[in-house]
Structure 1
Amino acid sequence: MNRAAATGSLALTLASALTLTACGGSGGAGVAADAKQTLTVWAMGTEGEKLGDVAKEYEKTHSNITVKVTPIGWDVAHQKLVAAAAAGKLPDVVQMGGTYLGEFADMGVLEPVDTKTFKEGDFFPAAWQQGSYDGKTYGVPWYVDTRVLFYRTDLADKAGIKKAPATMAELQSAARAYQEKAGAKWGLSVQPRGLDTVQSFYPFLFSAGGAIVDDDGKAVVNSPSAVKALENYGSFFKKGLSDKGVQPGYDVTKDFNTGSVAMFFGGPWFTGLLDDNYPDLKGKWAIAPVPADQASVSMAGGSSLAVSADSDHKAAAKEFVSYLTDAKGQAEWFERTKDLPANKAAWESGDLAGDPALQIWRKQMDTARSTPSQPKLTEITSKVDAAIESVTQGKSTAKAALDKAQSEIEGLVQ
């Protein structure tokens, strides 16, 4: 999923899905790519706000095309997409968050990707997987998101920490040292509860070799590896190394700036937030890969671009999506937004190739994982959110919590 939590009504989703037909296309060749036409595009959050400028640049070299970009807030995106799909009024091109795509592909409202134009090998494997459902690809990776470890280097010196923690055991030792020797209130900040707590848990889960749903679509959230990961995650709260009282919407950068929090897992946008809001902190923090359990594996998030199955402008839509997702387009998009490119070739020049910190993100994406697309993925992950909360709040063991989640998720997977 993306940086902002996406919500929607499950009842509306299910009801709408029942009314939809697996249309698979508009029934004709549609409008030719070189004909005069208007493309409608929906994009979410910051991307929606900035895509309009890119669209204007595109129009300069495609005089026959008018691109109408509608920014949509992530808080209402799911609801709007469901309503538009039910009415047969999806835009020609739509941004799809990782948890959405399986649901809308299952409805039959997305056009399969032309894999002769868009090649799987050009993109990070986890990004391509997010755009795929039931053996077909419906979304072209646009940008990727993963988590790495942010840590205070100046406080590490005080704590006697010589290097970034490379293992989960070292992560816990470092958290304790930051508290006992460097005055941090919390050694590590990870989310204890609330919507999308699972995103904070993924680095622990995937690094331990666990998963929520395996590649065959089977629920495996109570596997020994997953239980081990949640026991480790919960131990930070049980030992007082992490704050179990953190509320949804908490801004970790404020406490990271003061030194109250010494480490946290975060996405690439945190770099800009820290540089812009706390310039005096520059040189006092760094990033490192996710500490390894079996391996160093973080979550893969981000978004894909999909074309409506009912669009009369599929040819032009495909050209616009290609413009946004080729190496050049994604490198330019990074300069505008700092969104990490999903196209691997975009990383071969400029700052993306030469900046050592950016290469940490690049390396992390090579092993990053995502949960396979499922029509009810948002509901599935909510069951894991509840399991995590029961452990961090001391109400359940990891095994009991994940056994309960497993029984609930088994009826949701397809």
Structure 2
Amino acid sequence: MRIRTAAALRGVLAGALALSLATGCAKGGSVGSSSNTVTYWLWDANQLPAYQACAKGFEKENPGLKVKITQMGWDDYWTKLTASFIAGTQPDVFTDHIQKFGQFADLKVLAPLDDVGIDESDYQSGLAANWIGQDGHRYGAPKDWDTVALFYNQKMVKSAGLTAEGLNNLAWNPKDGGTFEKAIAHLTIDRNGKRGDEPGFDKRHVKVYGLATNGAGDADGQTTWSHFAASAGWSYTDKKRWGTEYQYGSKTFQSVIKWYFGLARKGYMAPLTDWSAGANPANAQVASGKAATAFDGAWMISTYYGMKGIKLGTAFTPVGPTGKRATMMNGLADSITKNARNKPGAEKWVKYLASDACQKTVGRYGIVFPATPDGTKAAVAAYKKKGIDVTAFTKPVADKKDATTFSYPITNYAADVVALMKPAMQDVFANDAPVSGLDKTNSQINFLLNQ
């Protein structure tokens, strides 16, 4: 039933978009757009000042052209963007996410960027290639990238007798958790002061969890289980990009999930009931002193290091059964809408956004890691100036010898995959449902992708 419902909703959206593109309702173009204005949407308020600075640089190089930037929150952003395609009020250019790319490309609401002049070698490895559609056309210009690392409370780590060097050399396996689980257990303290690895530990009344929870991970597990699954040798689909078979039914994947969620059942990781994407995400659990560590993305660096009264550190993800550590490397891009009112101006703006000039400007704000190497260097220097060491995020990208970077799964029906996996993963996490139940969910997803 879920599959039919999700596919039906997708069909309705596709029909509405097709109708809007074929009728006059799309002719109005972007709200506020004109021949001398380029409209641009983004969701991250922290990045707004950096892109306002880029807009000034662009306008100076392109007299007579203006950039109108609109920023809104993550959830509102995607809702309004989808609605804008239907209403014909879409922006000329918008910040695109790889998780959404497949559906937008399939619905043909994006303009090809083949003539913008994007050279893949100008960016961090793999970022540009992710934005090639199944038709061979490019639909995104590399913008920035992020990886995942372990944030930790330095005081709690020191009190536990652990060190930064030790945290950077942890290893794990799905049988006994390895030195990673031992460290997380030792960082856990119950209401009586007993640590998780001490006799008498009360897992029902935990005062400080060794590891915060970031939810069940839905279909990608970016800041939860993805780095464990990848370092065990698992991959989301049968192909690096545009796969047609998901692999959630893999015994390797299911053994990882069983172990990972088992940390909560042992009392070492905060339970799903402690998590809320809005009210109590992983960073809030660390900020409140409820958790000693948390896996999170590079986009959260400023948030963690801005916590009052807490001195933070970061460590690499642990080495897995493959002998290597792993981290998802996500990359955003800028896309032009198919019915952009100011297409020539949009192409110039996207080319400028992807240039070293803009990327170094963004890097100097120390908010994200821009896609070009020089932009990344500018960001690293900006973080260093703030007293923040970002090696745990940058080294896996620079040095592939001991680390594996991987992307979000890039397939059609991404929203449908999430709709199916989200309740299934929450059931395993919250209700201790058998991981073997993911076989059925995986079959439903693959049926959808290949119907």
Whether TM exceeds 0.5 here: the answer is yes
2:439 aligned residue (384, 387, 403): 403
* Alignment partners' CA distance in 2, 1:68 and 1:203: 38
Name the structure 2 match of 1:6.
Answer: none
Distance 1:373 1:21 in 2: 23
Moved more, 10-19 or 305-314: 10-19
TM-score by length of 2: 0.77
Q: CA RMSD in A?
A: 3.0
1:246 corresponds, among 269, 274, 295, to 274
Any conservation in 2 of the 1:148–1:364 contact (CA below 8 Å)? no
| Residue 94 of structure 1: aligned partner | 94
CA contact (8 A) 2:41 2:93 kept: yes
Q: 2:226 maps to what in 1?
A: 202
1:186 aligns with 2:209: yes
What CA distance in whole angstroms lies between the structure 1 residues aligned with 2:236 and 2:107?
Answer: 23
* Equivalent of residue 223 in structure 1, options 239, 250, 254: 250
- Cα 1:375–1:85 shift into 2, 3 Å: farther
CA contact (8 A) 2:413 2:449 kept: yes
Structure 1 position 46 matched with structure 2 position 75: no
Q: How far off is 1:373 after superposition? A: 2.4
Structure 1 residue 126: Cα displacement: 4.6
Q: Which amino acid aligns with 2:155?
A: D
Q: Secondary structure at the match of 2:96?
A: strand
1:403 CA drift (Å): 0.8
User: Which amino acid in 1 is paired with 2:262?
Assistant: S
Aligned partner of 2:326 in structure 1 is 297
Note closer, same or farther for the CA distance 1:158–1:170 as it changes in structure 2 (3 Å cut).
Answer: same
Correspondence for 1:277 among 307, 310, 332 = 307
How far apart in 2 are the matches of 1:260 and 1:234? 18
Percent identity over paired residues: 23
Q: Which residue number corresponds to residue 26 of structure 2?
A: none
CA distance, structure 2, for counterparts of residue 316 and residue 69 of structure 1: 14
Change in Cα spacing, 1:221 to 1:193, as seen in structure 2 (3 Å) is closer
Q: How far 1:206 moved relative to its partner?
A: 2.0
- Give, in whole Å, the separation in 2 of the partners of 1:66 and 1:353: 28
Gap runs ≥5 in structure 1: 1-8, 25-34
Q: Which amino acid aligns with 1:247?
A: W
Q: Is the 8 A contact 2:40 2:91 kept in 1?
A: yes
- Deviation (angstroms), 1:386: 2.3
Per the alignment, in what secondary structure is the counterpart of residue 172 of structure 1? helix
Match of 2:28 in 1: none
Residue type at the aligned position of 2:409: P
The 1:17/1:413 distance shift into structure 2, 3 A limit, reads same
SS of the counterpart of 2:182?
A: helix
Unaligned runs of 5+ in 2: 1-5, 23-33, 173-177, 189-193, 197-205, 399-403
Contact 2:45 2:72 (8 Å CA) reproduced:
no
Deviations 1:148-203, CA, capped at 9 Å, x for gaps:
11122332233232411521222211011112559962111123448678332222
Change (3 A) 1:69 1:229: same
Q: Secondary structure at the match of 1:281?
A: coil
Which of 403, 406, 411 is matched with 1:374 structurally?
411
Alignment of 1:10-409 (within 5 A): 13-21=10-18, 37-46=36-45, 49-50=48-49, 51-114=51-114, 117-134=117-134, 135-162=136-163, 163-164=166-167, 165-168=169-172, 169-179=178-188, 180-181=194-195, 185-193=208-216, 198-199=221-222, 200-215=224-239, 216-244=243-271, 245-248=273-276, 249=278, 250-257=280-287, 259-278=289-308, 280-282=309-311, 285-293=312-320, 294=322, 295-336=324-365, 338-348=367-377, 351-352=380-381, 355=384, 357-365=389-397, 367-398=404-435, 400-409=436-445
The amino acid across from 1:17 in the alignment is: A
Give the superposition deviation at 1:21.
Answer: 4.4
CA distance 1:394–1:57, shift in 2 (3 Å): same
Instruction: In structure 1, give the amino acid aligned to 2:44.
Output: G
Whole-angstrom CA distance in 1 between matches of 2:217 and 2:406: 22
Pick closer, same or farther for the CA change 1:411–1:21 going to 2, 3 Å. same
One-letter identity of the residue aligned with 1:364: P
Q: Distance in 2 between matches of 1:44 and 1:125?
A: 25
1:47 shift after superposition? 5.9
- Rounded to whole Å, the distance in 1 between the matches of 2:207 and 2:120 is 45
Is contact 1:207-1:292 (8 Å) kept? yes
Alignment-mate amino acid for residue 396 of structure 2: Q
8 Å CA contact 1:41–1:92 kept in 2: the answer is yes
SS in 1 for 2:449: coil
Partners in 2 of 1:68 and 1:353 — Cα distance?
27
- 1: distance between equivalents of 2:291 and 2:46? 29
CA shift, 1:323, in A, is 1.8
What is the identity, as a one-letter code, of the residue corresponding to 2:295? F
Question: Counterpart of 1:316 in structure 2: which amino acid?
Answer: G
Q: Say if 1:308 and 1:270 are closer, same or farther in 2 by CA, change over 3 A.
A: closer
